Amino acid sequence: MNLVPVDIELSGIYFPPWLGSALLGLALALAITTLANWTGLSRFVWHPPLFFTALVVLCTVVVGVTLVPSFVG
pLDDT at 28: 97
Mean pLDDT of the chain: 87
32 pLDDT higher than 70: yes
Task: For residue 19, give the nearest of 64, 66, 51, 58 by alpha carbon.
Answer: 64
Average pLDDT over residues 32-37: 96
- Sorting pLDDT into bands at 50, 70 and 90, what band is 71? low
Q: Which distant-in-sequence residues (6+ apart) come within 8 Å of 18 by Cβ?
A: 60, 64, 68, 71
Burial state string for 52-67 with b = 16 or more CB within 10 A and e = fewer than 16: beebbeebbbebbeee
